[in-house]
Each structure stands twice: as structure tokens, then as C-alpha cells.
Structure 1
Amino acid sequence: MKGRKFSPQKKDRRKAIRSIVEGIVLLTILIVIIRALLPSRGYFPVSEDRNLQTEQGFIAVSYFGVDRTGNKTLISTKRLEEHLKALTASGYVTISQQDIINYYTAGRPLPKKALFLIFEDGRRDTGIFAQKIMEKYNMKATILTYAQNLTLEDSKFLKAKDLKELEKSTFWEFGTNGYRLSYINVFDRHDNFLNQLNTYKFQLVSGYLDRNYNHYLMDYIRDASGIPMETYSQMQERIGWDYNSIEDIYKRELGKVPDMYILMHSNTGQFGSNDKVSAENFKWMQKLFQMNFNREGDSLNTSQASIYDLTRMQPQSYWYTNHLLMRIQDDTGEEVAFVTGDEDRNNSWDTLKGQPEFIKDTIALTSLPGESGLIKLKKNITDSNIEVSVELDGNKAGIQTIYVRADDELEEYLALSIENNVLYVYEKHKGGEKKTIFSLNLELHDGIKPQSLEENKLEAEIKELETELKYVSDVELTKRLNEQLKEKKARRAASVIEGAKEYIPEIGISEAGKRFLKVMLENDEISVIIDNKAVTERLKVSVTEGKGVYLEAAPSKEGYSQRNLTDDVYDGVFKSLVISRYSTEKKDDILYDNRLAGFEKVADTIQKGWDSLINWFIKYL
């Protein structure tokens, strides 16, 4: 067989075509990036004759920051757009700082569904990525900065020239979180006294802290016994220094002090943990600012509130859209436009409690506040012998449950539930109590070695010494700390195997969870696989009939947060749910399948690849 003759002209044509294709791709990417980053028009205030009211007040929604892909703290652009789109669909319109000032000082009415939108921490990526979304839904927001960050050489944070450009766009106003984010009276979980920590030190040791600390302006600086280390006048001077710095920096950098302030972090019923400290904060607030958000958790501010004691809701980056809407509906008592997503997939289920959203192959089931969310598959599963497979992507601090072989009243069933990272298998008969027939701590399933309290304490002390050494400049102190660190690292703590008490970490409310669950039911036996590893095989069960399949999501009362967030709504996330007939000899016949398939799967793969490419260019260009 003759080989093809080499042709330089053909090779050149291929190179030219490849170059043209690459050029088109790059040009397309640049156009997408430019469109994403550049503003297109100004903000249009709401018409003054729009359903004005004075009694309902307004809601305040505050995000930490925005990132294109999102992370544990920063919300992704995709999810932020979903949130703002849903708020718009629910009738909410944004208001300005001056609208709030007029409302409280002059009794001037607000729109019927007034929204005050906030972005905290003054991050540069927030300004870049949020504005295009705000433009789309004609929303105005306040971006907050720490005065100290305006003067630091840290590219993550907005500087004065950036704030001026944002304000010029008409979509932004600016406010302040104060001079700095700093911590006092800090103890770790083992009651080791760490005294004062700046933001960077705090982040390094945060894994060993619980709730025993305070923010810089909230209290006297105290010693390990809780006795003040400063006099009343010294406390006044310390707090006054921060507020004077705020005034000096903003006037120098921006020509004015922001009208809006958020005191970090009060939630005390006053303006600090101590009444004298509270009075000092209030004195400075009235001198420098027109308003203060003093609390976090609830979103609603009515005409009865004080303009210096306002409250804001802080949506987390992992909240699905209905989570936000559920919280707002609970705060305000007003109806919102919940989202259902894919209508065809939604039509396969009856919603009994809460609100599901069907997003491609994912069912995000949002619970009612303090209660559960519950949906039932409309199709009866007449086969008792079935296999169920699903990826559970809800956070660890919460409850995700699948009911099988259930009756119409959910009085009889088998249930598999992951609750706070523990797997439970339940069964219940009509008229009887729910009975646990199997349980497993999934930390053990993962092969994580239990740590003793002694080991965790020693680990914390080593980390704390390493952190202190990063920032110390005194030669003698450095020498002493190094000696202590050497001694700590040479020490050996008793293990759990040796009889020491186990350290059981609390699960944070934002701690991500992801488990692949497979369940096989055959006659009076159940087998369960978690993450491709068997946890129980051919376990005997007594519930052998029933046609119903239900999904349930519920918040956990044990969820923990260092920032003392309270959240009684939970998103159960059920991905790629498949139910099929099952037997040990033969396995076939899909009874329900929520996976992506065909063109939908191809389109999703292409979209993910395209998004990854855009993200890469934004990150590295």
C-alpha cells in the first residue's frame, strides 16, 4: 500500500486553518471576558409612585464577596445571578442608603418590596464580577471596605480609585466595616489564652478555635482570668483611635466618610459585650455615620427599628436559591416566587413540604424553617426488590433521607439517612415507632483515625507557636518561642488506643458533604454501599412491601459555626438518582432515572469545558 505523498502546501493549509480556529476561540473568549467585566449602562432608580409603604420596611441581604467559580466563603457568579433573578421575580427592588436615611429620619415611604443589597469585605473580585449581574436586574448595592485595607499593599482589596470608579458607574455606593478586622480575648478550644489576634493570625489558628473570642471593638481587652487589662480611659483611647483612623483615612482617600457602617460583630442587644464599651461605640457611630447594621441573621427592618440597630441576612455561598427565598419568606411573612427549575423533572414528584428545585441531574430540596422538606415520587414502585443509587451533596450538618417501600401515609417504610455524617438505616411499621437497625459513623468508614483530646491540644499549641513566630520581631522572644516549639514537637500525647479521651470535632454548618450511596433491596434483606465500599450486606429487614419513594431534607440542631450563624433551613441535594429492579442474579429495568443522557449530557459536558476555559483565562490573563 502506497503512502501518501508529503505536500508542504497541504501542511501549510492545515497550520493556517488551525491558527484561524485558535484565533476565533481566543477572540470569542476575549469578547465574553470583556462583556463580563465592562458596564453597559447606568442604574435606573425605581419610579417614586411604585406601591409606596411605610410600615413594611425593607430587607437587607449581605454577601461576603463574589468569585466567578465560588468557594467556601465567596458566592459564584452563577449562584449570585440565580439569587438576584429570583429576588427580582419576587418583586424586590433595590433602595439606596439615602432612601433608608429618609425613611427613618423623615418618614419618607419605600417601595413595597424594598431590598438593600450589601457586599462586605471590599474585595476587588466582588466589584468585577457582581456589577454585570446587577446591571442585568437593575440593582444598586453598597460595597464595604475596611479603612486599613485602603492603605495596604494587598491586591485582593479595593483601593480608593477603584471605589471612585464603582461609584461613578451609579450601581454602587460605599460603606465601611470599620478600621480593621481584629480579635481580642481569644481562647482556643482547650482554654489556652491567645490574647489578641489580627486577621492573618486568626485565619491560621481558626481550626483550633470554638466560640470563645471577641472582636476588637466589642469589649475591654482582658487577661486570661477575664480581668480588664486596661482602664476605662485606656479603653476609650483605644476605641477612639480606630474611629479617628476611619475618619482620617476615608477623608484623605475618598474625600468623605461613608454614611453606612457595620459594627463587627455585635448581635448583643447593644453596641458591644460591655455596657461602657457599647456606649463608646454608640458615641462614635452618631458622630461619624448616618446608619449602622448592628445585627446579622434576620433580613427584615421595620419602621420600629433604630437606624443604628439595623439587621442583615448573610446568604452563604452554598445556599440554593430557594434557601434564600425560604429565609426571606420566614422573616417577612410575604410570599416569594420559589423556583422549580426543570418542569418536566418536577412533574415526576409531588411536593409535600418545603420546595424542590430541579437543576439538570440534581434535586435540591429546601426544607421549611426548622422543619423538613419532603417530596414523593408520583410513580409507584411496585417491585419490592430494587436498587437505588444517588449522590448526596448536601452539607454534613443536616439530614438527607431516602424512604423506600413506603406506604401512602409514610407510616410504614424503610429509610436510609445520612445525619451529621452518620449513616442510619431505619424501619417503621404502621402504628409503631421508628427503629434504628443499623448505624455507622462515616468518619470511621473513611478510615479517619480518631484523635484524642490530648493530641488535638498538642497540635493546637504547636500551630499557635508557629503562628506567633511568623509575626514576632523581638530576638529574645523569638528564641524563647523556638525553644517552646522544639519542646512541644518532641512531646508525645496519649492516643485513643491508649485510653485517652477522644476528641470529637463539631461539624460546621458550612462543611461540605459528598457521598455516593447505593442500596440493594431483595426480599427481607438490605445491602448498602457508601462511596463504592460496602457498609452492610444482607441485613435482615421486616418491612417487605410498599410502593412509595420519598426524599426528605431537614436542618440539624447540632450545626456549628465559629461566627455563631444561625440557620434553620437546609438544602438536601440528591444528584443522579436512579431506581431500578434488582436481584442478585439479574439486574435490569430502570424504573426512575434523573441522570443526564443524550444531547443534554453532551451539552452539559461542552458547557463545563467552556466555563473551565473562560475561568482559566480570567485567572491567568
Structure 2
Amino acid sequence: MSKKGVALNQKSKERKKVIRTVIQAVIVAFLAIILIRAVFLLNKFEETALATSNEAGFIALSYFGVSRGESPKYVSKAELEKQLTLLAKQGYTTISQQDIIDFYEEGKPLPEKALYLSFEDGRTDSSIFSQKILEKLNYRATMYTYANKMDTKDTKFLKPNHLKLMENSGYWELGSNGYRLTYINVFNDEGQSLGVIDENDVPDKMMIEYYNHYLMDFIRDEYMIPTETRAELEKRITEDYEFMRDIYTESLGEVPKAYAIMHANALYNNMDALVEKVNDKQIKELYKMHFNLERDAYNEADADIYNLSRLQVSPYWPTNHLMMKIQQSSKQRVEFAIGDKELAKEWTLANGAAEFLNNELILTSEPSAQATLFLKQKLPTAYQLEFDFYGNVVGEQSLYVKAADESYMRIMLKDNEVVILENQLNQKEAELERHTLEEIEWSGEDYAFNKATVYSYYDTQQGSRIDEEEYPRNLKNRRHFALQVGTNELHLTVDKELTTTIAMNDVSQGAQIGFGAAYSKKDTAHEQYMDDIYDTIVENIKITDEADEVIFSNQYTEIAKVEHNMSTWFNGLVDFFIENF
């Protein structure tokens, strides 16, 4: 190579090095800002005088964790901000633990729309990514922790000095999830007893078929016969509460007022009477209030302060899913997110709620009902349509074509099957075809079935309760649909995996398309509390006529697509640095 070539090559290397250094500097600066805000908590909560005329009750929401981007385990920072901002817009104000105590013990009324907000497991990411949102809305929340994490070296969990800073800021109060997260009476899917397992030693979650939490039962042998006496049970459970008292007193100066036992919904609900008695005694001696339940958001005035309920918000819920849940449990009318109001004007919502975001529309059903949304624009006799369904695998995402009055053809993606149905005026919907799509791969590390329950030895010997083709309800998957619609037939392609042509009845000659959402009714033994609200997510809709002219599209423009891809790339890069450095 010539000297000139060597020089040019060296300059190129130096230029790349400079670019790489600049990118790293920007990311480090970004992370430094986050860290400074998280550690020093520069702002203080502003106490405001609120009208207190509410004698009915309050809603309670709980989040397991907050991630910077989309995650199957934790709600994203952006989604958390959307949800809480919409609640604040409707007049929901956060209340303190003392407000709840005064409400139940002294009958003091609460603000009209009272919200008790909490985050569980004492995760650092929850504090970092929610702090700015709390400051923006002047919201207060409770951070629940495990006592045995107070001296852990694991940076995922908040330390006492940080918890004290959070509490001093006024934006946070402290609560407890207990001393430890340990599982007892564990059985795998082959009926073998695995005994007692700490959270850090749990093997493949997909192999665990039955388990209970440390405070929830006697420790039992492989035949589910107790291996400890009543006195030993009481001593073991009491020791955990003593650990909570001693550790919190030493590290925080006092025991938090609020408790949320793991696992929820068991105490006072078919639990062994002796186990229930010792837990009840210790909880009431150590704590002022207890969120024992995790099903409903609303707590009425006649609720027991030691048997309160919070709604644990699932990471996969869009904003309107949460709003629908709040409306369902509280009977309060709520406002739903609309998103782009100009896009919304192009559609007619028959029932449910719809949100329009860039290249995406989210259709949320009411509980145990179907939501439908129709494009107002009339379509020609022949056209092409493409889009992506991106909702959860378990559920019903539907496309309506040739819709008019009560006549239509419906293409439904349900539980990884494509079902084609036809409905003629005043007749029952008839199934024309059904196709099972290729199996979807998913990781047991990210998705899990709900298996903690009350069970017997007989139950443990029945093998897995999960069908091999069954999917967890929080598993999302993208499927691309392409249709060619003609006068008498419809040609459908799904992911280049399924291709079929369907003859259409003369009656099905409407000029509208629409989408539907409904939860999937499944009888599954591992799901204790089925969610009967479902979200159909439709992305990248494009409709063209026979001349390939665009009739309707919500796809990104080329410029917007580049901006979106750049933003996605940068966010992924930052997430990589957060997770690895």
C-alpha cells in the first residue's frame, strides 16, 4: 500500500474513533443526568390542600417494575407516563398511607378521585424511570421492598440510603413485601417434589408446576404431608416477621406502615386456618395496613384495612386497557385515550375504546364483550389491503371485510389460528375455514403462567396443566396479513405461511372494512384470574385500488420511518449501556 493510502486509512480510523467517542460521550452524559436526578432527587413534593368529600373509597394501582423501553416483565417509562398523565387529567390525585388509615379508622373523607399508587419489589429501575413522572404530576407513591434486600449487593434493588432520600423528597413512602421471596412445596411437571427454593435458585420456570410462598403454608414432603408441627410453623413464620421488624428498624429507623404479602389473594381465602392465624396476628402487630388482594382496583369504605386490594398493572396493557379495568372495578366513568384526533375522525367506534398512534391503532374491548371499529370511507368493489396484527397471541383480533348492516366476512386471528367466518343478514355467523399457524417460540424467562395456588398431592401427580400448544396471555406476536378483495372472492396471505382463496356470497357485498377485539374464553387450570378485556393492535394499514392508488394508509412516510428507526436504534443503544455497564 502507498504512503498516501496508509495516511488515508489512518485518517479514516481516526475519524471513526472520534465518532465512536462522541457517541459514547453523549450516552455517558445522558446516563449521568439520569443518575444525578435519581440519586440526589433535586425536587420536593408539594403538599396541596384538596377538597375532601369522598366517603365512598379509592383506587389502588401497583407496578412490579418500570423499564426504559418495552419489556414483557415491566411497564415502559413511556406507557407509565401516559397512564398516570391521563389519570391526572381526569382529576385523580394521589393519597398517602396516612390518608388511608384516617379514612378507615377515623372516617375522614378522601379527595373525590383518590389514587393510591405503588411500586413493588424495591427495584432501582422503578425509582429512576418513574421519578420524573411523579415530579411532573406532583404524585406520591409507595415503594415496597423485601427486608432481606436491604444489604444486598445486587444493584437492581434499592439500598436504605437511597430509600431514605426518596422518602425525604416527599414523593415516596415506604412499604414492605415481606422478608424474602422464597418458594415452598415446589413440584415440577413430572410430580417430583423440589422442596424449598429461594428466588435466585429457581430452575426453568416452565418446569415448575406447583409452588407456594414461604409464609403461605406448612412445609410439606413429597406427599404433601406437613413436616413441621404447629409450634414449628408458628416459630418459622414469626421469625420472618421479626426479621422484617429488626432489619427495617436498623436500616430505615422504623417499620413501614404498609404491607403487601406474597403471594396475594391467599390469606383469608382457603388458607390453612393455623397458617392464617399466625400471619394475621403478626401483620396486625407490625403494620398499619395490608394490601392482601391484587385483583380489583377499587377499595370501598366498608373494606377491611388489613384486606385491601390493588390492581397490578400488567406490562402489556395499553393505556385504555387500564382505564377499562378502573372503570370495571370502580364503576366510575373514565376518559379513554384517543391519540391522534384527526385519525380518529376517519373511523366509527361501535363499542369499546380506540387509540390512534402514528402507524398503530389499538382497539380495547369492554369486559367480556367485543369491540368493533369501522373505517368510514367506502371502498370500491375490488381493492388490496395489508396490515399487521400485533396483539397478544391469546385473544381474538378480527378483520371485517365487505361489511354492511349485519352482513360481512370476518377473518379472525385467535390463539394462533386463522378462522374465516361469514355472516349473512339475520343469520348466525358461519365458519368457512380454520387454519393453525406455525408454532410461536417464546422464552420461559420472559413469560410465565400463573401457577401459585392451593393444591393437593393428587393435583401434583397429574402432570403439566399446560397444553403444549398453549401460550401465556402476555405473549405478543406480529402477523402480516395481505388481502386481494374482488367481487366474488377473497385471496388471503398470512406471513407467506398461509395462502387461501375464499368464495364470497352475493349477500356479503358491503363497502366497509373494520376491526374487532375480544378476549379468548379458555378453560385453563393454571390461570386463576382471567382477564376478560382484550386489545387488538393493528399496524401499518394500507389500502389500494386496482390501479394501485392509495385509498387509505396509516403507514409511516419515508421521512417518518427514518426518524422512527433512528429513535429505535438510539434507544436500543442506551438500553444496552444501562443493562451492561
Q: SS of the counterpart of 1:517? A: strand
Alignment of structure 1 residues 269-418 onto 2, 5 Å: 270=268, 273-383=271-381, 385-407=382-404, 409=405, 411-418=406-413
Query: More deviation in 424-433 or 599-608?
Result: 599-608
How much has 1:129 moved relative to structure 2? 1.5
Equivalents in 1 of 2:391, 2:132: separation in Å? 29
How much has 1:515 moved relative to structure 2? 1.0
The amino acid of 2:136's aligned partner reads: K
Q: SS of the counterpart of 2:163? A: helix
Equivalents in 2 of 1:193, 1:541: separation in Å? 56
Structure 2 counterpart of 1:181? 181
8 Å CA contact 1:507–1:559 kept in 2: the answer is no
8 Å CA contact 1:519–1:529 kept in 2: the answer is yes
The amino acid of 2:263's aligned partner reads: H
Structure 2 counterpart of 1:428? 423
Structure 2 counterpart of 1:512? 476
Structure 1 counterpart of 2:540? 576
Alignment of structure 1 residues 99-498 onto 2, 5 Å: 99-202=99-202, 204-210=203-209, 212-268=210-266, 270=268, 273-383=271-381, 385-407=382-404, 409=405, 411-443=406-438
Structure 1 counterpart of 2:503? 540
Equivalents in 1 of 2:527, 2:160: separation in Å? 29
Equivalents in 2 of 1:176, 1:271: separation in Å? 21
Query: More deviation in 285-294 or 539-548?
Result: 539-548
8 Å CA contact 2:412–2:418 kept in 1: the answer is yes
Q: SS of the counterpart of 1:278? A: helix
Q: Deviations over 1:338-379 (max 9, x none)?
A: 111111211110111111111110001111111122111000
Alignment of structure 1 residues 26-37 onto 2, 5 Å: 29=27, 32-37=30-35
Q: Deviations over 1:50-91 (max 9, x none)?
A: 231242211110000111124111111111111111111121
Equivalents in 2 of 1:599, 1:287: separation in Å? 62
How much has 1:184 moved relative to structure 2? 2.1
The amino acid of 2:289's aligned partner reads: M
For structure 1, list consecutive stretches of 5 or more residues without a partner in the other structure.
Answer: 449-501
Equivalents in 1 of 2:342, 2:34: separation in Å? 31
8 Å CA contact 1:527–1:537 kept in 2: the answer is yes
The amino acid of 2:318's aligned partner reads: Y
- Number of residues paired by the alignment? 550
Question: In 2 relative to 1, CA 190–381 (structure 1 residues): closer, same or farther, beyond 3 Å?
Answer: farther
Q: SS of the counterpart of 1:374? A: strand
How much has 1:143 moved relative to structure 2? 0.8
Equivalents in 2 of 1:420, 1:327: separation in Å? 22
The amino acid of 2:473's aligned partner reads: I
How much has 1:617 moved relative to structure 2? 4.2
8 Å CA contact 2:380–2:545 kept in 1: the answer is no
1:606 has 2:566 as partner: yes
The amino acid of 1:412's aligned partner reads: S
The amino acid of 1:528's aligned partner reads: L
Equivalents in 1 of 2:152, 2:353: separation in Å? 45
8 Å CA contact 1:509–1:559 kept in 2: the answer is no
Q: SS of the counterpart of 2:312? A: coil
8 Å CA contact 1:299–1:311 kept in 2: the answer is yes
Equivalents in 2 of 1:135, 1:278: separation in Å? 40
The amino acid of 1:67's aligned partner reads: S
Question: In 2 relative to 1, CA 286–414 (structure 1 residues): closer, same or farther, beyond 3 Å?
Answer: same
Structure 1 counterpart of 2:47? 45
Equivalents in 1 of 2:15, 2:192: separation in Å? 67
The amino acid of 2:402's aligned partner reads: R
How much has 1:31 moved relative to structure 2? 5.2
Equivalents in 2 of 1:73, 1:609: separation in Å? 21
Q: SS of the counterpart of 1:358? A: strand
Taking structure 1 as the reference length, the TM-score comes to: 0.82
Q: Deviations over 1:378-415 (max 9, x none)?
A: 001132x22221111101111100000011x2x21111
Q: SS of the counterpart of 1:213? A: strand
Question: In 2 relative to 1, CA 24–136 (structure 1 residues): closer, same or farther, beyond 3 Å?
Answer: farther
Equivalents in 2 of 1:551, 1:539: separation in Å? 19
How much has 1:595 moved relative to structure 2? 0.3
How much has 1:601 moved relative to structure 2? 2.9
The amino acid of 2:376's aligned partner reads: K
Question: In 2 relative to 1, CA 561–394 (structure 1 residues): closer, same or farther, beyond 3 Å?
Answer: farther
Equivalents in 1 of 2:524, 2:147: separation in Å? 30
8 Å CA contact 1:390–1:577 kept in 2: the answer is yes
How much has 1:100 moved relative to structure 2? 1.1
What's the % identity of the aligned pairs? 34
Equivalents in 2 of 1:347, 1:42: separation in Å? 41
Equivalents in 2 of 1:559, 1:72: separation in Å? 23
CA RMSD of aligned residues (A): 2.8
Query: More deviation in 182-191 or 305-314?
Result: 182-191
Structure 2 counterpart of 1:55? 55
8 Å CA contact 1:266–1:272 kept in 2: the answer is no
Structure 2 counterpart of 1:525? 489
Structure 2 counterpart of 1:455? none
Structure 2 counterpart of 1:453? none
Q: Deviations over 1:5-34 (max 9, x none)?
A: 99x99x99x999999987776665555444
Equivalents in 2 of 1:561, 1:259: separation in Å? 36
The amino acid of 2:355's aligned partner reads: E
How much has 1:269 moved relative to structure 2? 6.2
Equivalents in 1 of 2:189, 2:288: separation in Å? 38
8 Å CA contact 1:297–1:566 kept in 2: the answer is no
Question: In 2 relative to 1, CA 134–230 (structure 1 residues): closer, same or farther, beyond 3 Å?
Answer: same
Question: In 2 relative to 1, CA 192–523 (structure 1 residues): closer, same or farther, beyond 3 Å?
Answer: farther
Structure 2 counterpart of 1:476? none
Structure 1 counterpart of 2:83? 83
8 Å CA contact 1:400–1:417 kept in 2: the answer is yes
Equivalent of residue 554 in structure 2, options 583, 594, 603:
594
Equivalents in 1 of 2:320, 2:523: separation in Å? 20
The amino acid of 1:277's aligned partner reads: V
Equivalents in 2 of 1:100, 1:87: separation in Å? 19
For structure 2, list consecutive stretches of 5 or more residues without a partner in the other structure.
Answer: 442-465
Equivalents in 2 of 1:552, 1:91: separation in Å? 31
Question: In 2 relative to 1, CA 594–314 (structure 1 residues): closer, same or farther, beyond 3 Å?
Answer: same
8 Å CA contact 1:58–1:300 kept in 2: the answer is yes
8 Å CA contact 2:327–2:334 kept in 1: the answer is yes
The amino acid of 1:158's aligned partner reads: L
Query: More deviation in 172-181 or 521-530?
Result: 521-530
Query: More deviation in 84-93 or 151-160?
Result: 151-160
Equivalents in 1 of 2:414, 2:254: separation in Å? 51
Structure 2 counterpart of 1:457? none
The amino acid of 2:151's aligned partner reads: T
8 Å CA contact 2:543–2:550 kept in 1: the answer is yes
Taking structure 2 as the reference length, the TM-score comes to: 0.88
The amino acid of 1:388's aligned partner reads: L
